[in-house]
Amino acid sequence: MPGLPRGFPARPRRHGRWLSSALLLASCSTDKIIAPRDSGNLVSVTITAPSTTLSPGQTVRLTAQVIDATGHVLPNEPVTWSSSSPLVATVDPSGLVTAASVGATSIAARARGEQAVQDILVENVDICTCAVVID
């Protein structure tokens, strides 16, 4: 097979031999090493939000999907959540957003160096009380 060093197996006989040979080759090279991924290359991260406008104290659970190059959803891929303005709204590791004060923030979901962002608006809800007098 062209491009392989002498003695490098063109066809692995056993998975372990291929992996150990590949690791040995990678450890001897000074070129940029790209680690193999078992789930394919990541294409995108998406966020689903049932609501994007909240009142202080309200919560909403965001969900993130990580999708590989073949279009498959990677359900067990770890996602890291963050808020651009935690004084407006915080987000916990499971994607639960809690509105804290009036303002706007962006919630980001990150996986394998890619990210998706969802804008969240926190507004006060004015409650109007009306009295009707009938004479």
pTM over 0.75: no
DSSP 10: S
- Tell me: the pLDDT tens digits for 26-47? 333 333 333 334 445 778 999 9
On whether the CB atoms of residues 119 and 99 are closer than 8 A, the answer is: no
pLDDT-based confidence at residue 67 (cuts at 50, 70, 90) = very high
Average pLDDT value for residue range 96-111: 97
Average pLDDT, the chain: 77
For residue 19, give both structure tokens. 């992996």
